[in-house]
């Protein structure tokens, strides 16, 4: 019996289900996920928040760990929060958020 391999698309699909509670846009589209690495039983995620004092930060980290932890074969989800580079919305995203 062959094991199912988790793909980049699987991870992105889960991340797209997590909405920023203030902006109502998923954290993938927002660009809050800088990188992730899929190991055999681990996913390491590097992400940021819209601001250093983001009140939803702990909730977002919990949701990332919970959603990715449900993927078959994943035992651990590590989330590293970074603020360098600081988050900047793209021009397209600014349009989506009504900032134009």
Q: Which uninterrupted H or E stretch holds 46?
A: strand 42-47
Strands of the sheet with 33-38, listed across from one edge:
33-38, 42-47, 76-81
Task: Read off the pLDDT of residues 7-22 as tens digits, 9 standing for 90 and up.
Answer: 999 999 999 999 999 8
- Predicted pLDDT of residue 1: 40
Every domain of the chain and the residues it spans: 8-84
Determine what percent of the chain is predicted with pLDDT higher than 90.
82
- For the chain, helix, strand, coil in percent to 5 are 30, 20, 50
Superfamily (CATH) of domain 8-84: Fe-S cluster assembly (FSCA) (3.30.300.130)
Q: What is the pLDDT of residues 34-62, one digit of tens each?
A: 999 999 999 999 999 999 999 999 999 99
Whole-number Å distance between alpha carbons of 93 and 81:
21
Mean pLDDT, residues 62-71: 98
């Amino acid at each position: 019996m062959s094991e199912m391999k988790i793909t980049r698309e699987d991870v992105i699909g889960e991340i797209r289900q997590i909405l920023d509670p203030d902006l109502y846009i998923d954290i993938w589209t927002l660009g809050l996920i800088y990188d992730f690495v899929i190991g055999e039983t681990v996913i390491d995620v590097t992400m940021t928040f819209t601001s250093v004092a983001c009140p939803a930060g702990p909730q977002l980290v919990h949701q990332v760990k919970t959603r990715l932890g449900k993927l078959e074969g994943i035992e651990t989800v590590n989330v590293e929060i970074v603020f360098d580079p600081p988050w900047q919305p793209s021009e397209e995203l600014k349009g989506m958020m009504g900032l134009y």
